[in-house]
Amino acid sequence: MNNFFPKLHNATWPGVVGKGEDEPFISLDKMIELTAKAEVNGRKFDGVDLFLSEPHVSIDSTDDDLKKLADQLNDNNLAAGSLVAPVWSETGGGSAMGSADDRQKFLTQVRKACEIGGKLRDLGVRPYGIVRIDSSTDVQTWSKDPEGNTKLIAGTFKDAAIIATDHGEKLAAEGEICWGGMHSWKWMLRTLELADSGDNLGFQADMAHSMLYLLGYNAEEHRLLPKNFDWEDKATFTRAYTEMTDALRPWTIDFHVAQNDGTVKGQGSHNKTGKHCLADDPNGKLDIPWAAKFWLTENGQPRKNIRHICWDGCMFPNETLHQQQTWNTILGAMISVQEANGWSE
């Protein structure tokens, strides 16, 4: 194996995001343990991406809390990478197109996330990574005034990018069809263009979520694959996937490896956002290393600005998440992406 970049991370938020009914949260300690124990032919995960909300990492973590976290990561030979800012009203944030108070709450959560990111850098455990955001508003509310609401979201994102820059961070907006102003590939582009924040605000591409852009859920006018599409028609899929990735790749600064079976129902509260599947799911529609190439390379060369990639494995039942083999299989898929699209330094 010749490639050791981009570094391979596992997401910890599957322990708290996309839970089924009556399923308890899985602790951060357990998610770190499962990640650290995963191994394929002597290869291990290089790090984890973190969810900055209880019960994992509080957005109001003290310096002592963060030192303890840094020590735990060091003890497990794991780096910290990208951080999810809890910008939603349920976690203390607010809609990016809401009232002035809502938007200020959104920005406050971004600021706190950036401060945590800086402290983890200073503690020596976070050599790369971005702060992840979304619009924190649903598509139905956004659709009451698409142009006006998109301008509001973009304005909030632009203000957030200024905060991030002041803290030495960059923001990435994750394209999911459940978020207003981000729910189609064209509206995602419009939001990023209006925010006009240069390298300080980019796109976080998730393979499971972005594939649904092709199917036009929540934005039929932006569909790129025909209705009743035959998934065996790789030529048509390739044309559609190329059009989408050519548009969004220049904005992409953070990347989630994932699988999708072409359905939109997630788990728990995650509806119309994309069904994450296990890496070896026989119903998965993506050839993972092949599809990752469209995001991670340019003119046949690796995009070295993306220093790490992360497996996003939310929406699996706890029974699946607790099995060590689940994470070994995922690590194997990550290694295949790295071998096909990465580089060595």
Counts for the chain of helices (H) and strands (E), in that order: 11, 12
- 1 confidence band (pLDDT: 50, 70, 90): low
Render 132-191 in DSSP notation, one character per residue. EE---SBHHHHTTSHHHHHHHHHHHHHHHHHHHHHTT--EEEE--TTBTTSSSHHHHHHH
Q: Look at residue 177 in the predicted model and tell me its pLDDT.
A: 92
Q: Look at residue 264 in the predicted model and tell me its pLDDT.
A: 77
- pLDDT over 70, % of the chain: 96
Residue 34 has which token pair? 């499962």
Q: Which residue has the tokens 């220049």?
A: 250
For the ranges 53-62, 208-217, 326-335, the lowest mean pLDDT is seen at 208-217
- Kindly report, residue by residue over 281-311, the tens digit of the pLDDT: 999 999 999 999 999 999 999 999 999 999 9
Residue type, 251: W
Query: Do 128 and 170 form a contact (C-beta atoms < 8 A)?
Result: no
The mean pLDDT value of the chain amounts to: 95
Residue 82 has which token pair? 């990208």
Positions of E strands within the chain: 7-11, 47-51, 79-84, 131-133, 171-174, 201-206, 252-257, 259-260, 276-277, 297-298, 301-302, 308-311
Residue 270 has pLDDT above 60, yes or no: no
* Domain chopping of the chain, boundaries: 7-341
CATH number corresponding to 7-341: 3.20.20.150
Q: Look at residue 336 in the predicted model and tell me its pLDDT.
A: 98
Residue/partner pairs of 63-67 with CB below 8 Å, 24 or more apart:
63/119, 66/116, 66/119, 66/120, 66/123, 67/123
Q: Coil, helix or strand for 233?
A: coil
- Kindly report, residue by residue over 74-88, the tens digit of the pLDDT: 999 999 999 999 999
- Kindly report, residue by residue over 192-236, the tens digit of the pLDDT: 999 999 999 999 999 999 999 999 988 999 999 999 999 999 999
More confident residue, 271 or 53: 53
Q: How far apart are CA 112 and CA 133, in angstroms?
A: 13
Q: CB-based contacts of 97: which residues, under 8 Å, 6+ apart?
A: 103, 135, 137, 141, 142, 149, 150, 152, 153, 156, 180, 181
Alpha helices in 38-83 (DSSP H): 63-75
Q: How far apart are CA 190 and CA 27, in angstroms?
A: 38
Residue 267 has pLDDT above 90, yes or no: no
What average pLDDT does range 15-28 have in this prediction?
86
Q: Look at residue 265 in the predicted model and tell me its pLDDT.
A: 66
Q: How far apart are CA 328 and CA 39, in angstroms?
A: 6
Residue 19 has pLDDT above 80, yes or no: no
Q: Look at residue 275 in the predicted model and tell me its pLDDT.
A: 67
What average pLDDT does range 25-31 have in this prediction?
97
